[in-house]
Structure 1
Amino acid sequence: MYRTLITPRFSETDALGHINNTVVPVWFEEARTPIFRCFIPTLDHRQWNLILAGFNVDYLLPTYYGEDVEIRSGIHHIGNSSLKIWHQALQGGKVVAQAEVAMVHYDYEAESSTAIGEEVRLLLAELQDPRPW
């Protein structure tokens, strides 16, 4: 498991006074940066070789402006050409949202998935952790 600290912005609040539901997936994407770097160390978009194949988020409690959010993340499955990632967002020590993400290593020229190489697998293994729910 690894952690990413997010400071909610005032502009991310909605008319109900809490963080809008569209914001949390963006935070989870930010938390995937260490995983992206395993595949593309420079994060150069011209070398991008990943696609988001699935994303499911559960909102458990409201999230508010004024208190940092800790994102806990881990990889719980590495397949031949794909991986499954989990995220949990915590505010005030409570889990406010959690998500499961499926990503695929992809060859955009061939328009097909491609095997994850051994070097990348070793890097991903360092981020592996069982899903906590």
Structure 2
Amino acid sequence: MENRLPVIDRKTITMRWGDMDAVGHLNNTYYFRYLEQIRIEWLDELGHGIDPDGVGPVLASTGCVYRKELVYPATVVITIELEKLGNSSLKLHHRFFREGDEETVYAEADATLVWVDYRSGQTVRIPEPIRAAISGERLPA
């Protein structure tokens, strides 16, 4: 399997029975909830969890293309791929796989995050430690 974009992380989420809709597959709204959860975990791991008194990301746009139904039981593997890194924003691409079947893309999604000062509402530059982690650069000691 060839990656289109650099994969900067992979996360897994265990699908729950209640995540399915009336026709027996993962409800479309849960794709977005799963994306939200993996973004929060990813930022926490980078040491930049959401702090309402600090700076952090807000979701500027998101979308999803559903390719194949995910059904229970499943562990869902979601990639975090860097599509674009700007001064105050970044665009991520995600692919959804089923654990054990990482050849089949079940869905693809995009999310654009903009960094802001939560108190002022003003756009700010993405913090250097996050930029370094995303781009694979090392910060000077």
TM-score by length of 2: 0.78
Pick closer, same or farther for the CA change 1:22–1:118 going to 2, 3 Å.
same
Provide the alpha-carbon RMSD of the alignment.
2.1
CA spacing shift, 1:117–1:45, aligned 2, 3 Å: closer
Out of 9, 12, 15, the position equivalent to 2:19 is 12
Tell me how far 1:31 sits from its aligned partner.
1.9
In 2, Cα distance between equivalents of 1:36 and 1:63: 27
Picking from 96, 99, 124, the partner of 1:89 is 96
Match for residue 129 of structure 2? 119
Paired residues in the alignment total 126
Report the Cα offset of residue 52 of structure 1.
0.2
Q: Which residue of 1 aligns with 2:114?
A: 104
Task: Find 1:54's aligned residue among 54, 61, 83.
Answer: 61
Equivalent-residue separation in structure 2 for 1:83 and 1:40 (angstroms):
15
Distance verdict in 2 for CA 1:73–1:5, change over 3 Å:
same
**Structure 2 match to 1:70:** 77
Deviations 1:50-87 (A, max 9, x none): 11001011111111011211111122211010001111
CA distance, structure 2, for counterparts of residue 108 and residue 44 of structure 1: 8
List alignment gaps of at least 5 residues for structure 1.
128-133
Q: With structure 1 as the length reference, what TM-score do the two structures score?
A: 0.83
Contact 1:51 1:106 (8 Å CA) reproduced: yes
Change (3 A) 1:83 1:49: same
Question: Is the 1:60–1:95 contact (alpha carbons within 8 Å) kept by the matching residues of 2?
Answer: yes
CA distance in 2, matches of 1:35, 1:126: 15
In 1, Cα distance between equivalents of 2:47 and 2:88: 12
Percent of residue pairs bearing the same amino acid type = 29
